[in-house]
């Protein structure tokens, strides 16, 4: 039997198990919009005259975020958006998503900038994986973070909005808890203030489960990049995703509880204690607590170049 919306007589398109709600298309999208607007206000994303960078990969979450933020900032003349896209250089995967980014930014009239690992680091992701013993997702995470930070600064932006959804956030928090990594927990966004050298991060979709971002994109008729990264099979995150979903199945709302825990912990940890120095090779910031002079990206590139020299000698 098809259920009706709890707020009207229309047919329900989703049942939210964690809240016990059935919602129709209109009330579901209204709820999503309200959640995002609440996060935009609460995270202080719009602060006077500024350019907001949006990390747009072409996936459902980033495309949904771009569309929602465009709607929110449209009436505010002093605020503009710029879409930042990283082309890692993954053969057979990234090119099709770049087409989606171009189509969406053109349609919305949003400025778009694309930078590749080849442009910034001199080699593609595929080439890095071949030369490194590190896991592909570790490599990509290090390089992507640097690439987006450099791009956001070059674009004159004061904040970088990313499409991390509730599942992404809960998995990351769980990983940090189980590895007792308080430093990473302290640095986890969203950020209420900047750390020197780093563009402040915001996550407007952080309270929205992945199933709901997918449904939102579908109901809005947005393109969905269905291809899965070929390196995702080796990601440790998959184990934490399974743990998280098992907990959610037994206790609906577990993801929201982890996010609430992180928010409470963040209020107890002062980001003012986080200090940085400058990487002597590229000038990008380095967390002092990591005990390294060079940033992680330059350290990794040095290792990759060293491995290449051994192979050719």
Whether 295 is in a domain gets the answer yes
Say yes or no: 269 and 279 in one domain: no
Q: Quick check: 250 and 243 in contact, CB under 8 A?
A: no
Say yes or no: 118 and 54 in one domain: yes
**pLDDT tens-digit series, residues 121-179:** 999 999 999 988 888 999 999 999 999 999 999 999 999 999 999 999 999 999 999 99
Whether 25 is in a domain gets the answer no
Say yes or no: 200 and 55 in one domain: yes
Q: CA 148, CA 84: separation in Å to the nearest integer?
A: 7
pLDDT at residue 311 is higher than 70: no
Say yes or no: 170 and 307 in one domain: no
Tokens, residue 114: 């694309």
Say yes or no: 54 and 116 in one domain: yes
Specify the pTM. Answer: 0.91
Range of the domain at 291: 275-313
Say yes or no: 179 and 201 in one domain: yes
Tokens, residue 83: 């879409």
Whether 50 is in a domain gets the answer yes
- Find tokens 């952080």 and name the residue: 206
Say yes or no: 231 and 281 in one domain: no
* Tally of domains within the chain: 2
Beta bridge partners of 243: none
**pLDDT tens-digit series, residues 31-90:** 999 999 999 999 999 887 789 999 999 999 999 999 999 999 999 888 999 999 999 999
Which of 129 and 187 is assigned the larger pLDDT? 129
Say yes or no: 125 and 245 in one domain: yes
Whether 289 is in a domain gets the answer yes
- Nearest Cα neighbor of 63 from 222, 209, 193 is 222
Tokens, residue 97: 């998503």
């Amino acid at each position: 039997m098809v259920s009706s919306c709890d707020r009207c007589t229309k047919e329900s398109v989703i049942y939210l198990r964690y809240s016990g709600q059935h919602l129709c298309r209109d009330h579901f999208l209204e709820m999503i919009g309200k959640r995002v607007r609440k996060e935009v206000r609460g995270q202080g994303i719009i602060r006077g005259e500024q350019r907001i960078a949006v990390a747009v990969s072409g996936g459902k979450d980033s495309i949904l975020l771009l569309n929602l933020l465009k709607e929110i900032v449209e009436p505010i003349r002093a605020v503009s958006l710029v879409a930042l896209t990283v082309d890692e250089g993954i053969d057979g995967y990234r090119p099709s998503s770049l087409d989606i980014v171009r189509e969406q930014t053109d349609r919305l009239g949003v400025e778009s900038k694309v930078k590749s690992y080849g442009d910034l680091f001199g080699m593609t992701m595929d080439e890095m994986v071949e030369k490194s013993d590190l896991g592909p997702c570790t490599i990509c995470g290090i390089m992507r973070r640097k690439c987006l930070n450099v791009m956001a600064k070059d674009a004159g932006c004061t904040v970088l909005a990313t499409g991390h959804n509730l599942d992404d956030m809960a998995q990351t928090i769980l990983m940090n808890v189980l590895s007792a990594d308080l430093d990473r927990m302290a640095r986890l966004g969203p950020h209420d203030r900047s750390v020197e050298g780093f563009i402040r991060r915001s996550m407007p979709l952080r309270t929205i489960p992945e199933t709901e971002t997918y449904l939102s994109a579908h109901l809005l008729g947005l393109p969905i990049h269905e291809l899965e990264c070929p390196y995702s099979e080796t990601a440790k995150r998959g184990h934490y995703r399974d743990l998280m979903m098992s907990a959610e199945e037994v206790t609906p709302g577990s993801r929201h509880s982890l996010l609430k825990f992180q928010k409470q912990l963040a209020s107890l940890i002062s980001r003012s204690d986080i200090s940085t120095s400058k990487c002597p090779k590229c000038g990008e910031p380095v967390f002092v607590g990591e005990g390294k002079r060079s940033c992680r990206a330059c350290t990794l590139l040095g290792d990759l170049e060293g491995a290449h020299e051994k192979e050719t000698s």
